[in-house]
Amino acid sequence: MATFETKYPGNLRTEITHLQSGNTLTTDAPSDNHGKGEFFSPTDLLASALGSCMLTIMGIAAQTHGFTIDGATMETTKIMSSNPRRVGEVVIKITFPHNNYSEKELKILRTSAKECPVANSLHPDVKQTVSFSFKE
């Protein structure tokens, strides 16, 4: 269980504190919705949480099965929809540090990415487009 404290100091921003660690982050309304876009927006956090969760769960699965994804990177693109305004799609491109994974390891990675808690928490109308690529 995680608990957070969120304050609204004004100017379409929030300040969020993770109570267990004391770490903080600031959100800002996006520039296309009355904000300055100087920090992550709440919908940016949702999209980046999906990607971070996928990498974390894949890392746990890799560790459990005796291999690593250390050095993997991810590009996440959030696509907004309207009526109502919401995240319509999250496009995730994962790049792994090499292409020496076995077929079994690739299956573990693909399966674990789909099973992350954030992916399972999003409404089915939020399209999740995930692709894998590998450095030579």
Q: Tell me the pLDDT tens digit for each residue of 50-94.
A: 999 999 999 999 999 999 999 999 999 999 999 999 999 999 999
Per the listing, tokens 């991810």 go with: 74
The residue extents of the domains of the chain are 4-33, 42-134
CATH 3.10.180.10 fits 42-134, yes or no: no
Contact by Cβ (8 Å): 52, 94: no
Give whole-number Cα distances, 109 to 26, 55, 64, 89, in Å: 32, 9, 12, 21
Q: How far apart are CA 50 and CA 116, in angstroms?
A: 8
Q: How far apart are CA 54 and CA 116, in angstroms?
A: 6
Pairing of strands 13-18, 4-10: antiparallel
Instruction: For residues 107-118, give the mean pLDDT.
Output: 95
Q: For the full predicted model, state whether its pTM sits above 0.85.
A: yes
Give tens-digit pLDDT for 24-60: 999 999 998 999 999 999 999 999 999 999 999 999 9
